[in-house]
Chains A and B, each alone.
Chain A
Amino acid sequence: MNKFVALALFALLISISPARAFDLSDGRSVAGPSIPTSGLIQVSGAEHARLRHEAAQQVRSLAARGSDAGALIDAIDAELDPIAREAQWSEWLDLLAASSELQAIEVAALAELEKTLPVAGIPHHEFPARSVTAYALAERASVLLARHARKARARDLAATPDELSTVLDSDPASSAFAAGLEAMERIAPESLARLVETRMARKTFSRAASTVLLKAAEINPDHRGLLIDIVDRGNVATARQALLMAATRDVPELREIAAVALGRSEIGGLALTIARQSRLHPDDFCWTLLGDPALGADAARMLADDSSRLLAEVSLRIHGAPELARLRMLLALRLRGSEASHGLLSTLAESPWLTEQQRREVGSWL
C-alpha cells in the first residue's frame, strides 16, 4: 500500500506541475536570432499558459464581482510582476473588445497602454526556438482607441445629416468614412432613405456609393431591393458582398440578382453559386458560360458536380464549341471523375483540335 501511496503522490506531483516534463519550450536544441524582440523576458509555452489562465481568472473574477472600471484598472496596475501584469492587461483588452462602449477612465488607460513596450516573449508557433511578443498590447490598445473614436464620431455625424452625407462621399478606406457608415445605423429611416435616394440618382456607383447602399440594405430590410442595383452597378468587391447578403438573407429577388451577377464575369464564381442557390439548375445556365474566360472553370466545376446530362451534352456540343468552351468541357469530365466521364475523356483526348500540349495534359488525367 505504501507503494500505491508513493506512486499516487508522484503522479499527482507530475499532473499538476506547471512546468511539464514534455514542455516543448524547455531544453530546445535550436537557437537563432529572434524576430525583433530584443529586451523581452522569455516565457515558456507552459508558463505563458499558466500566466494567461491566472490572468483570466483574476481579471474576470474582478469584473464579475462588479468592480468598477477604475478599480479593475488599479488592480491590474498594482500587479508587481511585469509579466503577470502584461497578461492581465491582455485579458482586460479582451473584455474591452467585447464591450460596446468605453468609459473615460478606460480610454485614459488605453492611451497609457498604447505607449507601453512589450515585456514577455513567447516561443514562435512554428519555430519554438525563436521568440515573438506575447500580447501586442500597444497595438491592440490603438485599435480599441480608434474604435472608440469612430463610435464618438459616428454619434456626432448621426446628428448632422449634411456632414454625414459629405463624409459618406469620402475615401472609403478612411476612418471618417467608417464612422459615417456606423452613423447610418443611428439615423432615422427617413434620413437613411434620403442618403439612398441621392446615391441612386447618380449614373454610376462609386465604391463609396456602393458601400453606402450596401450598408443601407443591411440596416433596413426595406432597402434590400438595392442589392440588385449594387450587383449591377457597384464596384466588384461591393457587388460580391451584395450577392452574399442576398444569399444569406434569402431575398425574394435572388434569381434576378443572380442573373445580373452572371452578366458581370469579374464577380467570379460566386455568381454561379448564387444562381444555383436561387434554384436555377446548372444545366440551365452553365453551358453558355464555359467559354467565358473568368467564369468558365467554375461553370465546368458546377456541371461536373451537378449536371444530370453531362456526358450527353458534352458529346453533343464539344465539336462545334469554341476552343475555350471545349477545354472547359474536358475539364468538367475530368472533375466529374466517374468511370463514364473518364471513358469519354479518353476518347476526346485523341481529338485533332487539341494541341500537343493540351493532349499531354489531358493524358495526365487518364
Chain B
Amino acid sequence: MAVTRVSCRHAFSASIFFAEKASAGVATIVMKIVMTIVMTIVMTIVGNIATASVIKSVITFFTAIALNFLLAMSAAHAQQEYRYTETAGGGNEFVLGYPPPVPVDSAVPIDGFRSYNALHARHQDLMLQSERVGGTVVGRTLQGRDIWAYALGDEDAETVNAGPESSLLVNGGLHAREWGTPELTTALIETVVERAGDAHLYDYLADNVHFVVVPVSNIDGFLQTQRYPTRVLVGSDPRVPNAWPRDGRMRRKNMRDADTALSTRGDHLFGVDLNRNSEPFWAIGGASSSNRNDLVYHGSFSFSEPETRALMAAAEFAREDRLRWYEDVHSFTQVLFSVSTFNARRNAIQSDLLSTFDRFHNSLSLQRHGVGRRYPEDPNRVGSGIGVTAEYFGYQYQIPAWTLEIEPRRGAVDYGGLGTEHDGFILPESEVARLREDMALTHAVLAYRQAGPPSVVAVEVKSASGRVVRSVRWVHAGNDRRVLESVEREPLLPGFEYTMSVAFDKPMRWDDAGEPGIAPGHDEVPFATGIVFRAGNGQATDIDLSAGRWMGRPGANEVFERYRYDTFRTTFVAPVDPGVLETGSLVVEIDARDFTGQRLDADPETVVDWSNGGWRGYENTNGLGGDSGGIDSTLALRIVEPWEARLWLLRRGNR
C-alpha cells in the first residue's frame, strides 16, 4: 500500500500542477477546486483497487493524461480572443493608440514590417545579385522550413593585409512576436549591398570581416504571428495575470506541439522558448521552466530544438575559430544584456565594445532625429545564466556575446502609444525605417571595431619637391608575422621641409558628409594622428600637425592607401637642434586611434588575432601584449648634421 500512496501523491501533484497551468480567473479557481476533488477521489479509488504496481502506473499515467485533457479543455474555455486596435471600439481589445502594423508583401524596405515571404525573397534576391552576399541553409525548422544564414563580405578568409579575417554572427527572429528583429537583421544585409564601393566603412568590412547573419531563426513562430497580426489569445501562465496575450500576434516560442489555428485553444501555450534552450545554463535556476505551457519552457533537453541547433551550424558557417562576437536580437527595453564569463579580459573588451554601441547609437540618433537613444550594457553575474543563446556563444567561444533588446525602452508610450498590454512588442510602422537604418550603421561600426585594432601599414616621407626620400611598408611574411620593407633614398636634412604620409589598415576617421570627422559619440578621439620624433638621447621633437589632414575627401583627388581616411598626411621641418642631430637617428612615434577610440597595435610585426577571450599580438608602447595597444615606434629615420646635409645636397646637384 505504501507504493500506492506514492503513486497517488504523484498523480495528485500532477493534477495540481495541471490545474495551476489551466488556471485563469475566479471561474477557474472554482474549476480547480472541483477538479482537485475529482482527481483525488479518482486516485484514491485507483490506489485501492490496483494490486500490481505496473498496472497502477499505467492507470495513473492514462488518468493523468485524461485529466490533462480535461483541464486543457477547461483552460481553453477560459481563453478569450482579443484584438489590437488603434482606437477603442468595444469588445475584447487592446487599444494601441496607433494603427496595429500588418505585414506587407514587399521585398524592398517600406515604412513598416515586411512579411516573412517578402523578407526571404529579398535575402535570396540580394544573394544572387551581389558578390558580397553568400548564403547557405543552416537548418530546418520544426515545420520543415529552411533556416538560412548569409555571409556578408568577400570570399577569402584573410584581411587585405593577409591577417586572419574576423567573423561575427548576428541572429534575429528567435522570438516570434519581436517583429523588429528580422527587419534589423535584413537591414544589415541590405546596407552592405547598398553601400558597396564607398571606399570607406563598408568596403573595409567587406574586405576584412566575415559578417554572418541569420535573419529569422524561428520562422514557424514568426509566420504564426504574421498570420494573426492583430489577434491574440489571452491565456493563463503560472506567473502572469489573466489578461495576458500569448498565441497569435504575441507568440514568443516556436511551434512545438502547437498548430497554426487559433481556434485550437488547447495548444496555444505550447512551444519551446528558444532562448532558454542552450547550454551551459540550460534548465538551471528559476528563469526557465520544465512546464511546456510556460512562456519560458526550456524544452526537453538542451538544444532540443532545430532552431537552436541551426545556430550552431551558423557558427560553423561563420568560421567558428574566427568568431569575435555574437549578438542575438530581441525586443524590447532598449538595453544590451551581456554575458559575463570567468574571463576578465573578454568581459572588459565586451564592455568597451558595448560602450561604443551605446555611445554611437545614442549620438547618431540625436544627430539624425533630435532624440538620443541609449543602449546601456547590463551584464549578468559571472558564472550565472538562464539558457539563452548568448551564454552559449560567450562561454563556448570566449567572445563578446549579448542579447540586444531593441527599442522601445518602456513600451509604445515612447512613441505616443497608449501603453496597452505588451505594446512594446508592437513597434509603430512609422518607426521601423529609422530603426533599420540606424541599427544597420551601429552594427557596421561594431564590426569595424571588433575587426581588430588599427596598425600602421606604411609610412612615406617626401621632400618638398615631391621626391620620396624614405618609404617603409609592413609586408606579411607568414606565420602571423610581418616584416618591414624599407627603402631609403636619403636621410632627413635638418631644417628642410618634408611631407609624411602614415597609412593605417583601416579607415581611421568617420565620414561626416564627405569630410573626415569624429564618429558620433566618440568625441574623445583626437582628430589628428600624434607624431613625435624622438632622438636616441630621449629628446623629443613635436611635429606641428596643424596642416595635417586625413586623405580621401570625395572629389579632392587625395591619395590614400585603400580606404578613405586611412592615411594621415602632414608636413614637417626636420629638426635642427644639435642635441637631436648628434644621435643621427629619429624614432617616429605614432599615436593614433581608430574612430571608435581603439589604439594602435604598437608592433605591427606580430599580426593581431583573437585568442582565448582576448587579443593576441596586440602590443602596447612597451612591446607587451594585451588589449589596450599603444604608440608605434617601430620606424626610425636617419638624420644628418648640417655638414653632411651639404654633401647630400651636392649629390642632388643643389648648391
Q: How many pairs, one residue from A and one from B, have CB atoms within 8 Å of each other in the complex? A: 236
> 8 Å CB contacts to B: which residues of A18-64?
20, 22-36, 44-46, 48-50, 52-53, 56
Is A11 engaged at the interface, CB distance under 8 Å to the other chain?
Answer: yes
User: Of all chain A residues, which has the CB nearest B374?
Assistant: A36
Contact check: which of A14, A16, A29, A125 meets B285 at CB < 8 Å?
Answer: A29
- Say which one of A65-73, A209-217, A310-318, A355-363 lies at the interface with B: A355-363
Contact assessment for A22 and B238 in the assembled complex, using a CB-CB cutoff below 8 Å: yes
> 8 Å CB contacts to B: which residues of A106-165?
124-130, 132-133, 135-136, 139-140, 143-144, 146-147
0/1 per residue, A174-216, Cβ < 8 Å to B? 0000000000000000000000000000000000000000000
Contact assessment for A12 and B36 in the assembled complex, using a CB-CB cutoff below 8 Å: yes
Is A351 engaged at the interface, CB distance under 8 Å to the other chain?
Answer: no
0/1 per residue, A324-347, Cβ < 8 Å to B? 100110110011000000000000
User: Of all chain A residues, which has the CB nearest B412?
Assistant: A143
Q: What A residues does B128 contact at CB under 8 A?
A: 327, 330-331, 358, 361-362
User: Of all chain B residues, which has the CB nearest A357?
Assistant: B131
Is B37 engaged at the interface, CB distance under 8 Å to the other chain?
Answer: yes
User: Of all chain B residues, which has the CB nearest A238?
Assistant: B111
Is A8 engaged at the interface, CB distance under 8 Å to the other chain?
Answer: yes
Contact assessment for A4 and B289 in the assembled complex, using a CB-CB cutoff below 8 Å: no
Whole-angstrom CA separation of A7 from B40 in the bound complex = 7
Contact assessment for A25 and B124 in the assembled complex, using a CB-CB cutoff below 8 Å: no
User: Of all chain B residues, which has the CB nearest A21?
Assistant: B20
Whole-angstrom CA separation of A142 from B379 in the bound complex = 32
Whole-angstrom CA separation of A31 from B19 in the bound complex = 31
- Say which one of A78-86, A224-232, A252-260, A266-274 lies at the interface with B: A266-274
Whole-angstrom CA separation of A320 from B315 in the bound complex = 41
Max count, chain A CB within 10 A of own CB: residue among B9, B97, B330, B413: B413
With A23-B238, A30-B385, A126-B330: A8-B110 Cβ-Cβ less than 8 Å:
no
Whole-angstrom CA separation of A56 from B234 in the bound complex = 16
Contact assessment for B239 and A46 in the assembled complex, using a CB-CB cutoff below 8 Å: yes
Q: What A residues does B131 contact at CB under 8 A?
A: 355, 357
Max count, chain B CB within 10 A of own CB: residue among A22, A50, A270: A22
Is B357 engaged at the interface, CB distance under 8 Å to the other chain?
Answer: no
Contact check: which of A35, A139, A301 meets B376 at CB < 8 Å?
Answer: A35
> 8 Å CB contacts to A: which residues of B208-246?
238-244
Is B642 engaged at the interface, CB distance under 8 Å to the other chain?
Answer: no
Whole-angstrom CA separation of A133 from B419 in the bound complex = 13
Number of interface residues of B (CB under 8 A): 82
Is B484 engaged at the interface, CB distance under 8 Å to the other chain?
Answer: no
Whole-angstrom CA separation of A4 from B385 in the bound complex = 41
Contact assessment for A140 and B36 in the assembled complex, using a CB-CB cutoff below 8 Å: no
Contact assessment for B410 and A139 in the assembled complex, using a CB-CB cutoff below 8 Å: yes
Q: What A residues does B117 contact at CB under 8 A?
A: 301
Contact assessment for A364 and B40 in the assembled complex, using a CB-CB cutoff below 8 Å: no
With A52-B241, A136-B410, A327-B129: A97-B121 Cβ-Cβ less than 8 Å:
no
Contact assessment for A301 and B414 in the assembled complex, using a CB-CB cutoff below 8 Å: no
User: Of all chain B residues, which has the CB nearest A47?
Assistant: B239
Contact check: which of B9, B376, B386, B405 meets A30 at CB < 8 Å?
Answer: B386
Q: What A residues does B57 contact at CB under 8 A?
A: none
Whole-angstrom CA separation of A294 from B118 in the bound complex = 12
Contact assessment for A4 and B238 in the assembled complex, using a CB-CB cutoff below 8 Å: no
Q: What B residues does A93 contact at CB under 8 A?
A: 418-419
Contact assessment for A297 and B122 in the assembled complex, using a CB-CB cutoff below 8 Å: yes
Whole-angstrom CA separation of A35 from B125 in the bound complex = 40
Is B469 engaged at the interface, CB distance under 8 Å to the other chain?
Answer: no
Q: What B residues does A331 contact at CB under 8 A?
A: 121, 124-125, 128
> 8 Å CB contacts to A: which residues of B338-384?
376, 378-381, 384
Is B626 engaged at the interface, CB distance under 8 Å to the other chain?
Answer: no
Max count, chain A CB within 10 A of own CB: residue among B16, B32, B388: B16
Contact check: which of A35, A125, A144, A268 meets B107 at CB < 8 Å?
Answer: A268
> 8 Å CB contacts to B: which residues of A242-284?
266, 268-270, 272-273
Whole-angstrom CA separation of A237 from B15 in the bound complex = 54
0/1 per residue, B16-47, Cβ < 8 Å to A? 10011001000001001100110011001000
With A28-B285, A364-B135: A49-B40 Cβ-Cβ less than 8 Å:
no
Max count, chain A CB within 10 A of own CB: residue among B291, B376, B419: B419
A6 → B minimal CB distance (Å): 10
Is A308 engaged at the interface, CB distance under 8 Å to the other chain?
Answer: no
Is B508 engaged at the interface, CB distance under 8 Å to the other chain?
Answer: no
Is B137 engaged at the interface, CB distance under 8 Å to the other chain?
Answer: yes
Whole-angstrom CA separation of A24 from B387 in the bound complex = 14
With A133-B410, A136-B413, A328-B125: A7-B275 Cβ-Cβ less than 8 Å:
no
User: Of all chain B residues, which has the CB nearest A7?
Assistant: B40
Contact assessment for B16 and A14 in the assembled complex, using a CB-CB cutoff below 8 Å: yes
Is B173 engaged at the interface, CB distance under 8 Å to the other chain?
Answer: no
Whole-angstrom CA separation of A100 from B285 in the bound complex = 46
Whole-angstrom CA separation of A165 from B291 in the bound complex = 60
Q: List 29 A-B contacts (CB under 8 A).
A: A4-B41, A8-B37, A15-B32, A16-B32, A20-B20, A22-B239, A24-B286, A26-B286, A28-B285, A29-B285, A45-B240, A50-B241, A99-B88, A124-B333, A127-B287, A130-B378, A136-B410, A136-B411, A143-B416, A240-B112, A268-B106, A268-B108, A269-B105, A270-B104, A297-B122, A331-B128, A357-B134, A361-B127, A362-B128
A-contacting residues of B (Cβ < 8 Å)?
Answer: 8-9, 12, 15-16, 19-20, 23, 29, 32-33, 36-37, 40-41, 44, 88, 95, 97, 104-112, 117-118, 121-122, 124-125, 127-129, 131, 134-137, 155, 238-244, 275, 284-287, 289, 291, 296, 330, 333, 335, 337, 376, 378-381, 384-386, 388, 403, 405, 410-411, 413-414, 416-420
B-contacting residues of A (Cβ < 8 Å)?
Answer: 3-4, 7-8, 11-12, 14-16, 20, 22-36, 44-46, 48-50, 52-53, 56, 93-94, 97-100, 124-130, 132-133, 135-136, 139-140, 143-144, 146-147, 236-237, 240, 266, 268-270, 272-273, 294-298, 300-301, 324, 327-328, 330-331, 334-335, 355, 357-358, 360-362, 364
Given pairs A15-B23, A127-B388, A132-B410, 6 additional interface contacts (CB within 8 A):
A15-B33, A16-B32, A23-B238, A93-B419, A135-B419, A331-B128
